[in-house]
Structure 1
């Protein structure tokens, strides 16, 4: 038997049904789910970030969901260390690690495609944060686009955490973020990876996302953001993901709830397109439509048995 740790990676854009598919795989093959979503790591926002609910978590073990305070930034490299340790523990117990999520950069870091980035000095981080506060998102994203156009094209201008992180790294190391992405991590585990993806036509996905946002807004997302704003300023990392700024604008009186939901949907659709573009460039992913559990189970079963 190969000494390499066998893992399943299940990727796809937001709203494509990864949670249900992951549970089906975990039940069939004795697996445990490891989060690979940069929003779902945060505490206090399970509805807003579409984290697995109590019933879904009861169906199989889930790891690295909702365990990070909202005011704590999460670097991809640091998260990869935690995710790899989690996978090692799962595999050591004779179970199958299932990496599941929609953050391509996290997948790349976990699988060794992102070199470890040295810590950024506090004074550099403070200087970049001050520039963001003084100049605003558009100017800071333009600065990033000038210095690192490849990475700037992958992130939204209003994504404070990612824009400032890239600028911090460039200022501290003299190398743009994209260079670190291309280098690779020599210390990465030698995984035997089964790469799966879920996708569907954009028009169908857009309808799904619209329904999901309505359900989130009615199901507690507004109250989650309100409670978070009682404890934290609106620009903390955990509130920077899509839905956070839009609901913050509503709760601060800058727009109505309908406008907030419309902006939330627009930004979510744009994000889903960026996710699709990222994952479509990954050559080893085998793609399935949502609900094709039989196809997923068949492929994984064959691969685990040593087949094609």
Structure 2
């Protein structure tokens, strides 16, 4: 029997049905759902980022969804701080259930966060200006030289991560990999990681249907309102899949069918990257997307072994 507080994590690629799983758990146990998806934090894009609907949120409390302005970014350290606060605030008779697909967020929370010092503003501003002037691929090329291991986990066009890695190196003289390999204190939580697996070929038509539904439900109008509030396509909230493509439609650069096709293509590619990331994790218990009852029974047995009675 573990003395640490149990926390269940529902993991998987976009469109796999993680929300449905979390609601299934909520019908069996008193649950509080905590988001760990870096796109679903944005308040301007509830439809495009597939945040739980008002009806779904009525089933149980939901936290860390739709609270961040489009102009802001939630880095890994910021997420961990918020998530730990929300878990601590969750009543003892409620089960914290983390739901999402941002692997870096979950890894930092479950494995511990390297104690990276604060970065001076002048260094941060200089690196981010370089990103604007030179482009993210230029920063990525530099990152490959100073931290090839971390470079394998990011992408040439991921301006936020590439800039952050260079900031840390310039400020501390140590690369991200060095910081991530430092010992961190043990977590006060016992994590159960449950993966929802979907074959990419089966997922592709489901993603198309989901995008069609998002458009029907007002994705374009949602993006138009967001553009009126934040007409800066380089703002962090606009960099998400779906947001980028719909913005190009609004600006007249794409037709609707082109927009949906590109949105679907990019979403599928993202789902593939998510699966690649999570397949490297050895402590995830995988279930097929239609094995809800089997998954819930497994979680119930694990909670009993932890001594959690709800």
The verdict on a shared fold, with TM-score over 0.5 as the criterion, is yes
Instruction: Provide, for residues 48-91 of structure 1, a one-character-per-residue CA deviation record: whole Å limited to 9, x for no partner.
Output: 1110000110011111111111111111112111101111221x
1:67-216 mapped onto 2 (5 Å cutoff): 67-90=67-90, 92-186=91-185, 189-216=187-214
State the alpha-carbon separation in 2 of the partners of residues 195 and 124 from structure 1: 37
Once the two structures are superposed, residues 25-67 of structure 1 have per-residue CA deviations (whole angstroms, 9 ceiling, x without a partner) of 1221211100011111111110111100001100111111111
1:113 positional shift:
3.5
Task: Provide the rounded CA distance (Å) in 1 between the counterparts of 2:255 and 2:165.
Answer: 33
Paired position in structure 2 for 1:300: 299
Residue 226 of structure 1 pairs with residue 224 of structure 2 = yes
Q: Give the SS at the match of 1:28.
A: coil
- TM-aligned CA deviation for residue 271 of structure 1: 1.2
CA–CA separation in structure 1 for the residues paired with 2:161 and 2:220: 24
Task: Call closer, same or farther: CA 1:299–1:150 in 2, change over 3 Å.
Answer: same
TM-score, structure 2 normalization: 0.91
Cα pair distance change 1:108/1:230, threshold 3 Å: same
CA RMSD of aligned residues (A): 1.9
Contact 1:169–1:177 at 8 Å: present in 2 too?
Answer: yes
SS at 1:105 equivalent: helix
The 1:227–1:171 alpha-carbon spacing in structure 2 relative to 1, beyond 3 Å, is farther
| Cα distance in 2 between the residues matched to 1:45 and 1:306 | 39
Matched, 1:5 2:10: no
What is the rounded CA distance, in whole Å, between the counterparts of 1:183 and 1:257 in structure 2? 48
Partner of 2:267: 268
Moved more, 231-240 or 170-179: 170-179
Contact 1:35 1:63 in 2 (8 A): yes
Q: TM-score scaled to structure 1, two decimals?
A: 0.92
Contact 2:223 2:246 in 1 (8 A): yes
> Secondary structure at the residue paired with 1:150?
helix
Query: How far apart are residue 285 of structure 1 and its match?
Result: 0.8
User: Could you tell me whether the CA contact under 8 Å between 1:112 and 1:184 is conserved in 2?
Assistant: no
Q: 1:184 Cα shift?
A: 4.9
Where does 1:249-268 land on structure 2 (aligned, <5 Å)? 249-268=248-267
User: In structure 2, how many angstroms separate the alpha carbons of the residues matched to 1:147 and 1:211?
Assistant: 43
Instruction: Provide structure 2 residue ranges, at least 5 long, that are not aligned to the other structure.
Output: none
| 1:230 to 1:202, Cα distance in 2 relative to 1, 3 A | same
Given that 2:42 and 2:69 are in contact with CA atoms closer than 8 Å, whether structure 1 keeps it comes out as: yes
Q: What stretches of structure 1 of length at least 5 have no aligned partner?
A: none
